Structure 1
Amino acid sequence: MDINLPEVLAEMQAAFERYEQALVSNDVAVLDELFWNSPHTLRYGATENLYGYQAIQDFRANRPSQGLARTCMNTVITTYGRDFATANTEFAREGNPRTGRQSQTWMRTPEGWRVVAAHVSLLA
């Protein structure tokens, strides 16, 4: 299997950066676009477990839009072949002493790269 083919890795890095920009600016339309529209998609958040695209979309629509800025650290993106990738990062928010962690599994679909599973947690 081809790991981190340069052109695929560049695509995935761009998708991750687009997601990150949408997250911190609360661009719900882009966030919704970047999750796979499927009942198989899931997102475990810091305080919620969301099963299926609709639950994730509902969460995004009702999430507070303040205090979303963050700094990512130790981001690792790995592509496996041409259609599958993982993205993992740590993050910090100003005024919050806790370090966050985010893991995403991405799949190439006919519409482009989409998150099929995600996990967000905070260290004590």
Structure 2
Amino acid sequence: MELNRPDTVAEVERAFIAYERALVDNDVETMNALFWNAPETVRYGIAEVQHGGDVIRHWRETCAPVPRSRRLHRTVVTTFGADYATVSTEFTSDATHLLGRQMQTWARIGDPSDMFEGWLIVAAHVSLIETP
């Protein structure tokens, strides 16, 4: 298995940036398009737990948007072969003094001809901690 193939890293980075833009813009349609809509999808949020694509989609329709002041720090994209990746990042915003942490597992299981080249988030975890 080839680690961090430049073309695969670039694809995942494009999908991740599209997701981040949708998150800050509260573009629910794009966020939903980038999450695998399957019972196996898991998202652990700051104060909630979602198991399954339908539950995640319902939560997205009712949750408060992230602050527009959200800024990313120390984002790391790691790819394993051509079809599996993790993205880890830290974030801050004016809404809290806490440091946010976000991890996503991405897999190329969608339609490879779509705008995200088949990449979908299959698991995610978001948390806040005191700033070290």
Which range, TM-score by smaller chain? over 0.9
Per the alignment, do residues 64 and 95 of structure 1 end up closer, same or farther by CA in structure 2, a change over 3 Å counting?
closer
How big is each residue's C-alpha offset from its partner over 1:6-49, in whole Å with a ceiling of 9 and x where there is no partner? 11110000000000000000000000000001000000000001
Q: Indicate the residue corresponding to 1:36 in structure 2.
A: 36
- Determine helix, strand or coil for the equivalent of 2:98: coil
Alignment of 1:1-124 (within 5 A): 1-65=1-65, 67-111=67-111, 112-124=118-130
Please, what TM-score do these two structures have when normalized by structure 1? 0.96
Offset of residue 96 of structure 1: 1.5
Could you list the runs of 5+ residues in structure 2 that have no partner in the other structure?
112-117
Offset of residue 67 of structure 1: 2.4
Partner amino acid, structure 2, of 1:5 = R
Please, what TM-score do these two structures have when normalized by structure 2? 0.90
Identity of aligned residues (%): 45
Per the alignment, do residues 51 and 70 of structure 1 end up closer, same or farther by CA in structure 2, a change over 3 Å counting?
same
Partner amino acid, structure 2, of 1:115 = I
User: Contact 1:92–1:100 at 8 Å: present in 2 too?
Assistant: yes
Q: What is the number of residues matched between the two proteins?
A: 124
Could you list the runs of 5+ residues in structure 1 that have no partner in the other structure?
none
Name segments (4+ residues, structure 1) moved above 3 Å.
none
User: Contact 2:23–2:66 at 8 Å: present in 1 too?
Assistant: no
Per the alignment, do residues 75 and 84 of structure 1 end up closer, same or farther by CA in structure 2, a change over 3 Å counting?
same
In 2, Cα distance between the equivalents of 1:46 and 1:66? 12
- Determine helix, strand or coil for the equivalent of 1:97: strand
Per the alignment, do residues 21 and 40 of structure 1 end up closer, same or farther by CA in structure 2, a change over 3 Å counting?
same
- Determine helix, strand or coil for the equivalent of 2:78: strand
In 2, Cα distance between the equivalents of 1:77 and 1:116? 15
